[in-house]
């Protein structure tokens, strides 16, 4: 993805390129107003938009859930313009479960759910394509969350549902909750933005040697050529529609 943005921005007039700073997503106050759940539901909760265009792997998990309702529930996406109490309701659902599973988009973007899920005390399970970026934020696989292979998400589904693994899961989800509540809330991002504006100092830094790989193939798109074609098309649209040009602020 870094290679892609390097290419696409090369065709943009320099005056249209804003000064950029990485300000990752975060978790809000509605997700941190309850204590650690010692007695969660022993199932996985899958939440978020399930569209197959930008979220093909999550969409596959939604289809998988239909035949595995005994181990996985779905919390339907409520949209982006919702009632004021919607995030509090969503947070209460999250913290009720031992594990919350999510995925990046078709490209490796650190979405808000990566912080919202663990901030409630629920174990975060996410495809490990995003692991280098999370490590740069102090979130380590096996310590604060668990990762899974985008080509075989079923393995982690059965692992988290094995009672023999629950003590380890509880240790990880507690550590993840503590880390996010300390370092990855909206208030942390506001302070980071203020520091950047006032002192020119960037709190969050990409790893110097970061090179995100193509998300192809995956369980949802097993044909590598088809997957790569989809990735190229959707990435160009996403960049052109939201990220690149005079009205963009990369964050």
- Asked which of 82-86, 92-96, 225-229 is least confident by mean pLDDT, the reply is 82-86
- Determine the number of helices (DSSP H) and then strands (DSSP E) in the chain: 9, 5
**What pLDDT sits at residue 5?**
46
Asked whether 35 and 86 are in contact (CB, 8 A), the reply is no
What average pLDDT is seen over the chain? 85
Task: State how far the Cα of 103 lies from the Cα of 127, in Å rounded to an integer.
Answer: 6
| pLDDT at residue 223 greater than cutoff 80 | yes
pTM assigned to the model: 0.85
Tens digits of residue pLDDT in 2-15? 454 445 445 555 55
Asked whether 31 and 116 are in contact (CB, 8 A), the reply is yes
**What pLDDT sits at residue 212?**
66
| pLDDT at residue 168 greater than cutoff 60 | yes
| pLDDT at residue 73 greater than cutoff 80 | yes
Domains of the chain: 2-23+189-243 (no CATH), 29-182 (3.40.50.2000)
Task: State how far the Cα of 151 lies from the Cα of 46, in Å rounded to an integer.
Answer: 18
């Amino acid at each position: 993805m870094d290679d892609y943005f390097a290419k696409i921005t090369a065709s943009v007039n320099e005056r249209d390129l804003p000064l950029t700073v990485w300000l990752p997503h975060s978790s809000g106050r509605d997700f941190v107003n309850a204590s650690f759940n010692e007695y969660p539901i022993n199932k996985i909760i899958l939440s978020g938009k399930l569209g197959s265009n930008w979220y093909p792997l999550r969409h596959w998990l939604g289809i998988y859930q239909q035949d595995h309702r005994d181990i996985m529930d779905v919390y339907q996406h409520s949209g982006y313009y919702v009632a004021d109490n919607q995030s509090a309701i969503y947070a209460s659902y999250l913290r009720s479960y031992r594990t919350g599973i999510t995925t990046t988009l078709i490209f490796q973007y650190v979405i808000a759910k990566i912080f919202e899920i663990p901030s409630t005390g629920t174990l975060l399970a996410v495809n490990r394509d995003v692991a280098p970026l999370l490590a740069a934020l102090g979130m380590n696989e096996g310590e604060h969350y668990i990762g899974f292979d985008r080509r075989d998400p079923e393995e982690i589904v059965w692992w988290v549902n094995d009672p023999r693994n629950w003590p380890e899961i509880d240790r990880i989800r507690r550590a993840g909750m503590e880390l996010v509540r300390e370092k990855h809330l909206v208030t942390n991002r506001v302070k980071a933005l203020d520091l950047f504006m006032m002192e020119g100092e960037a709190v969050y830094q990409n790893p110097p040697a970061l090179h995100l790989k193509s998300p192809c193939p995956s369980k949802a798109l097993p044909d590598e050529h088809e997957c790569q074609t989809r990735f190229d098309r959707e990435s160009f649209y996403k960049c052109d529609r939201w990220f690149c040009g005079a009205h963009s602020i990369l964050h």
